Amino acid sequence: MKKATLFLFLNILAFSLLAQNQKISGTVSDATGLLPGANILALNSGNGAVTDLDGNFELSVDANDILQISYLGYQTQDIQVNGQSQFDIKLIEDSNILDELVLIGYGSVKKSDLTGSVSSIKSEDLMSTVVSSIDQGIQGKAAGVVVTFGSGQPGSKSNIRIRGTSSIMGNLEPLYVIDGVPIVSNTSNVGAVVGPALNPLESINSNDVESIEILKDASATAIYGTRGANGVILITTKKGKLGKPVINLDYSYSIQQINNELSMLTASQLAELGNEAADNAGVDRREIYASPINLGVGTNWQDEIFRLAPLHNVQLSMRGGSDNTKYSISGSYLNQDGIIIGSDFEKGTFRVNVDQKISDKVKVGTNINLNRNTLNGVITNLESAIPSSITSWALEFNPGLPVFDENGNYTYNNNTSNPPVGNPVEDAVRTDQLSQSTRITGNLYLEWEIIENLKFRTFVSGDTYFNKEKSFIPNDVYRGQEKGQAAIANSEGLNWLFENTLSYNNIFGDHKIDAVLGYSMESYKNEFLFVSTSDFDDNRLGYNAIQVGAEKTLLFNGTSARQLQSYLGRVNYSFKDKYLITISTRIDGSSVFGEGNKYGVFPSMAAAWKIYDEPFLSNSDVISNMKLRFGIGRVGNQGIQPYGSMGLLSVTEAYFGENDIAKGSGPGTLSNADLKWETTDQIDFGLDMGFLKNRISLTTDIYFKQTKDLLLNPLVPYTTGYRIGLANVGNLENKGIEFAISSVNIEGKNFRWSTDFNMAFNKNKITNIERGEGIPAPPMLGVNGWSILEVDEPIGNFYGYESDGVIQLTEDPSQVPYFVDYSPSHGDRKYVDQNGDGILNVDDTVLLGNANPDFSYGMGNTFEYKNWSLMVFLSGVYGNEIANFNRFGLESFDGLKNNSATALDRWTTINPTNDYPRANADPRGSNTFSDIQVEDGSYLKVRDITLAYNFNTDLLSKMNLASFKLYLSMKNSFVLTNYSGYDPEVNRFSEDPLMSGVDFGSYPTARLATFGINVTF
């Protein structure tokens, strides 16, 4: 046997040495002329070339080699060499994208051979809505993929949900795999800075991305086992291509602006409101409101904090390659000011991708990405019982105060507001909130074709980050509470992966087999440190010398680690290229699982039938493709915190006498040796159709996803010594339907119009949470139970009172059902006493809405006319509600803070409206959560309009340029919505399913106007 193998090797070796003996040359052209940049690959010898600027190529081949000529957008052609030496090859344009390769994790398949549900986004589609990170490009591009941003602060993190929310306490985000490296995406702030965490996807340059594949159904994601439940996003970066170095330079300059400002009261209007509120509450009028008319318009604090903000983005790349070496190097620099003063974001990346052929059988390669991000933030999204955000403060701050007093100092106390807030301009400018991240991601692979059709690949990768947070509040800024405070936090982590796969593919007559078998080990460890001090006498050194603070306030550090060990396998089998079957299994062992449950098995099966290839359809004029898909599989979610299954001890502190601090270790968490992954079973039916030679293509999928063993913290009897114990107890389900349609509407000589449209419906339902009364969201502004997870209900329900107009003069207020601690008067808002018991209490709350849209959609239109192209991309959601907690402050009508201009329409004896209550300085009952705060969140956004002009190649070739493009674009330029806040695309606590769909003092998203220039040498 050994001898035979050796013989085979020698034969192959001899053959390859002997065969490489002929030089050929030629041209490649299309209907309009010669094509530069077309790829020519000799299949036997493996040599390749790229046509030059004039469409010429030269290549060494075997005498009986086969040339494969490919070019994006054209049909690939195979031509026998047959001793010929001159070739003039004409490529035919291809609207058939079915032969594109699609990555599926540990391999790739032709799009036409896909059995699972996978959405592909190509670089050019992605970039249309990207400002700096690729997740910005995904929204609306793939059916069933919903992206939300908890904050519009540049550099902040997104949240992506694929086919609904599949967990409550586990991971909610999909797994990101960049060039085979699963990246750590759940990094969060240690806490020195408050507000949104840095987006881990900012670590790569979006221009480096070649394509994104989104694996949605279980048959596609089961190969990722315990990390597949939320879908998998595979990101492939651009590799070098055969041919001369191609250098590309792109520079763009953008101006960003707030979409809309909210209409607020002027200083004199607020004073009038304040006086009326005081009178109605029977308290003294405030001195500052003594003469409303003299106050005039006052300061528009929104104008003071928002600004026109520039953004510079430079990209430079060089790609090329010879027969044996292909390389791609690129760098980028982005400098973005935020639309709120005092906030900005800076990002630099550097990437090298190299692939080297060592011999005919062995290939090695590496990808290395370096990144440095600096996010300079302002206070938004601070968790607190009161609105603690620059944006909330700017809305509430007294317009009667100037930014600076007569001495040029910031005005300090806001004597209207209770609790008082500081000057928002001063806070934005003078406090520091800095996050810095340095990240190195790299991998190394070796691929060895052991024998023909059998490949071994070993892959090592590392993803390491160093994050730093720094904050400082000077002692004379309001939030410094006369002491000032500083905090520094570090966190760093390393994720390494060692993966070995064997892949085999072959064709035996009608049978085609493509199989992969693998083993992988992965380990992640992170550590963090936090220190803070307060009581600063001197503000000058800030966070650079926190020891200036006299009082050490907090100090902690920690570390955690997790490991994953996996075995995986997949077989793709097709018969007559018509009947396809995929079977895959992954066995994942994870350190975070309990002792009794270390390994989980995640199998899947999928089948597809290419109906179009059956004789009865293949002659159809209308239908040009038809494929039926079915997939079923099981995936997991290992979103358990490390050591979650263990009984951990808490550090305790008691005191013996006045001086003896007795540190101790007492019971902290209840151990659960049976703790395991959450399991999601999913069934998917799909249909792919093509019409009119695939000028129109349609993909539709119906899925049903059932998640069991949800990780929850159910209550346990106190006699255990604990209140809760982490356990696998809940169930939920998601079901939905998705459509994606692509069509070339007009294809003329000079004009082309194509449309991509997608739409997805998802329904979510909790089927079991093993806890009688549901899981309430944490209170917001003192409102309890505004959102509750309940059995047979979807995640994200809002509950509250149903408003019923205002108590009018014709009514007797004492007869109006009300809360026990408040006697209403004329002009107070009424609520429906649902159970008719004469008082308002929690029994009268009703379902007010849900944060999940009924459906989401996106539509891109591309118009090309000669050298011009115009891209218009729209996306939106429909049928969701937003809990707008800003309205408690904006419509308090208490005169204690500035209010929305709706206060002008408040109830008075001469304006007996039913829309708005009276002014009232008595705050009781004012935090009633009702349908007033729950608003329709549906929107349609024009995300991108890009107009580009490509200069003529004739002209360019004289200047030695391959291409030259100018473009203008507008992003987020227009929103159609009924929502009253800054932006309906808001999700303040997007990382927490208990608190979906909240707007509360977030950093608003910006609109951008961009001018850019793109040159290729």
Partner 1 sequence: MKKFSYLIFTCTTILILVSSCDFLEETPESVINSNSFYKTESDAIAATNAIYDYMTVGTLGIFDEGFGGIFFNDFWVFKDILSDNCKETITSAEYQDLSEFKFTPDNIRIELYWEDLYKTIFSANIVIDRVPLIEMDELKKDHLVSEAKFIRALMYFEAVRLYGEVPLLLYETSSIGEASVARSDIPSIYTAIVDDLKYSESHLSSSFRVGNGRPIPEACTALLAKVYLEMGEYQLSSEYAKTVMNSGAFFLWDDFADIFKLDNMNSGEIIFAANFSGTQSQGFKPNQYHVRLLPPMIYENGRSEGPKNAWGWEIPTDDLYDSFNILDRRREATFISSFTYSDGSTIDFDPHISKFWDREKEPEGNNTDSDVVYMRYAEIFLIYAEALNEMNNGPNDEAYGAINTIRKRARFNGVEEQPILPDLSGLNYQDFKDAVLLERRLEFVMEGHRYHDLVRMNKLVEKVTESGKENIAVSEKHKVLPIPQREINLNPKLTQNQGY
The least CB distance from residue 563 to partner 1, in Å, is 5
Does 653 contact partner 1 by CB under 8 A?
yes
> With contact defined as beta carbons under 8 Å apart, do 201 and 185 qualify?
yes
Of 448, 630, 753, 951, the one binding partner 1 by CB under 8 A: 448
Of 558, 596, 782, 838, the one binding partner 1 by CB under 8 A: 558
The least CB distance from residue 818 to partner 1, in Å, is 16
Residues whose CB is less than 8 angstroms from the CB of residue 767 and which lie 6 or more positions away in sequence, other chains included: 731, 732, 733, 791, 792
In the sheet with 998-999, reading across from the earlier edge strand, the strands are 934-936, 881-884, 998-999
In the sheet with 181-182, reading across from the earlier edge strand, the strands are 118-122, 209-215, 232-237, 175-178, 181-182
Of 282, 509, 717, 836, the one binding partner 1 by CB under 8 A: 717
Phi–psi pair at 281, nearest 5 degrees: -90, -5
In this chain, which stretch among 645-653, 789-797, 886-894, 946-954 interacts with partner 1, using CB under 8 A? 645-653
> With contact defined as beta carbons under 8 Å apart, do 59 and 25 qualify?
yes
Distance from C-alpha of 42 to C-alpha of 562, rounded to nearest angstrom: 46
The least CB distance from residue 659 to partner 1, in Å, is 7
Of 96, 322, 415, 565, the one binding partner 1 by CB under 8 A: 565
User: Between β-strands 309-321 and 243-258, what pairing exists: parallel, antiparallel or unpaired?
Assistant: antiparallel
Does 505 contact partner 1 by CB under 8 A?
no
Q: Which is nearer to partner 1, 498 or 949 (CB)?
A: 498
Of 101, 362, 839, 1013, the one binding partner 1 by CB under 8 A: 362
Secondary structure element (H or E) that encloses residue 496, with its range: strand 485-508
Does 592 contact partner 1 by CB under 8 A?
yes
In this chain, which stretch among 282-290, 568-576, 588-596, 948-956 interacts with partner 1, using CB under 8 A? 588-596
The least CB distance from residue 653 to partner 1, in Å, is 6
Q: Which is nearer to partner 1, 237 or 461 (CB)?
A: 461
- Tell me if residue 955 falls in helix, strand or coil: helix
Q: Which is nearer to partner 1, 616 or 718 (CB)?
A: 718
In this chain, which stretch among 16-24, 419-427, 585-593, 754-762 interacts with partner 1, using CB under 8 A? 585-593
Of 660, 792, 812, 954, the one binding partner 1 by CB under 8 A: 660
Does 656 contact partner 1 by CB under 8 A?
yes
Q: Which is nearer to partner 1, 282 or 717 (CB)?
A: 717
Phi–psi pair at 8, nearest 5 degrees: -60, -45
Distance from C-alpha of 385 to C-alpha of 224, rounded to nearest angstrom: 41
Question: 184-213: which residues touch partner 1 (CB under 8 A)?
Answer: none
- Tell me if residue 834 falls in helix, strand or coil: coil
In this chain, which stretch among 205-213, 336-344, 591-599, 827-835 interacts with partner 1, using CB under 8 A? 591-599
Does 719 contact partner 1 by CB under 8 A?
yes
Among residues 351, 350, 383, 386, the alpha carbon closest in space to that of 367 is found at 351
Question: In a 10 Å sphere around its CB, with 0-12 CB exposed, 13-18 middle and 19+ buried, how is residue 465 labelled?
Answer: buried
> With contact defined as beta carbons under 8 Å apart, do 187 and 198 qualify?
yes
Q: Which is nearer to partner 1, 522 or 756 (CB)?
A: 522
Q: Which is nearer to partner 1, 413 or 720 (CB)?
A: 720
> With contact defined as beta carbons under 8 Å apart, do 856 and 849 qualify?
no
Site string for partner 1, 802-831 (x = CB under 8 A): -------------------x----------
In this chain, which stretch among 212-220, 613-621, 641-649, 968-976 interacts with partner 1, using CB under 8 A? 641-649
The least CB distance from residue 722 to partner 1, in Å, is 8
Does 667 contact partner 1 by CB under 8 A?
yes
Does 663 contact partner 1 by CB under 8 A?
yes
Does 666 contact partner 1 by CB under 8 A?
yes
Does 214 contact partner 1 by CB under 8 A?
no
Does 504 contact partner 1 by CB under 8 A?
no
DSSP 351-405: EEEEEEE-SSSEEEEEEEEEEEEEEE--S-S--SSS--SHHHHHHHS-TTS-SB-
In this chain, which stretch among 535-543, 586-594, 786-794, 993-1001 interacts with partner 1, using CB under 8 A? 586-594
Does 718 contact partner 1 by CB under 8 A?
yes
Q: Which is nearer to partner 1, 102 or 640 (CB)?
A: 640
Peptide bond into 419 cis (omega under 30): yes
- Number of other residues whose CB lies within 10 A of the CB of residue 538: 12
Q: Which is nearer to partner 1, 241 or 598 (CB)?
A: 598
Of 398, 491, 590, 764, the one binding partner 1 by CB under 8 A: 590
Does 284 contact partner 1 by CB under 8 A?
no
Secondary structure element (H or E) that encloses residue 517, with its range: strand 511-534
Q: Compute how many residues bind partner 1; rule: CB under 8 A.
A: 64
Does 245 contact partner 1 by CB under 8 A?
no
Site string for partner 1, 107-126 (x = CB under 8 A): --------------------
Site string for partner 1, 387-426 (x = CB under 8 A): ----------------------------------------
Does 446 contact partner 1 by CB under 8 A?
yes
Of 438, 458, 754, 808, the one binding partner 1 by CB under 8 A: 458
In this chain, which stretch among 96-104, 310-318, 654-662, 852-860 interacts with partner 1, using CB under 8 A? 654-662
Distance from C-alpha of 834 to C-alpha of 110, rounded to nearest angstrom: 59
Residues whose CB is less than 8 angstroms from the CB of residue 597 and which lie 6 or more positions away in sequence, other chains included: 673, 674, 675, 676
HEC string of 34-60?
ECCCCEEEECCCCCEEECCCCCEEEEE
Does 517 contact partner 1 by CB under 8 A?
no
Does 642 contact partner 1 by CB under 8 A?
yes
> With contact defined as beta carbons under 8 Å apart, do 25 and 86 qualify?
yes
The least CB distance from residue 534 to partner 1, in Å, is 12
Among residues 576, 604, 601, 605, the alpha carbon closest in space to that of 590 is found at 601
Distance from C-alpha of 914 to C-alpha of 907, rounded to nearest angstrom: 7
Question: 732-791: which residues touch partner 1 (CB under 8 A)?
Answer: 772
The least CB distance from residue 910 to partner 1, in Å, is 36
Residues whose CB is less than 8 angstroms from the CB of residue 200 and which lie 6 or more positions away in sequence, other chains included: 157, 176, 183, 184, 185, 187, 439, 465
> With contact defined as beta carbons under 8 Å apart, do 323 and 242 qualify?
yes
The least CB distance from residue 446 to partner 1, in Å, is 7
Question: In a 10 Å sphere around its CB, with 0-12 CB exposed, 13-18 middle and 19+ buried, how is residue 637 labelled?
Answer: buried
Does 310 contact partner 1 by CB under 8 A?
no
Question: In a 10 Å sphere around its CB, with 0-12 CB exposed, 13-18 middle and 19+ buried, how is residue 318 labelled?
Answer: middle
Does 654 contact partner 1 by CB under 8 A?
yes
Does 287 contact partner 1 by CB under 8 A?
no
Does 589 contact partner 1 by CB under 8 A?
yes
Nearest 5 degrees, angle CA 402-CA 473-CA 526? 140
Residues whose CB is less than 8 angstroms from the CB of residue 79 and which lie 6 or more positions away in sequence, other chains included: 66, 67, 69, 87, 89
Of 122, 286, 372, 598, the one binding partner 1 by CB under 8 A: 598
Q: Which is nearer to partner 1, 90 or 552 (CB)?
A: 552
Half-sphere exposure of 343 (CA within 13 A, CB side): 30
Secondary structure element (H or E) that encloses residue 886, with its range: helix 886-890
Binding residues for partner 1, rule: CB under 8 A, are 9, 361-362, 446, 448, 456, 458, 498, 500, 519, 521, 523, 527, 557-561, 563, 565, 589-592, 598, 642-643, 645-650, 652-668, 670-671, 715-723, 725, 772, 821
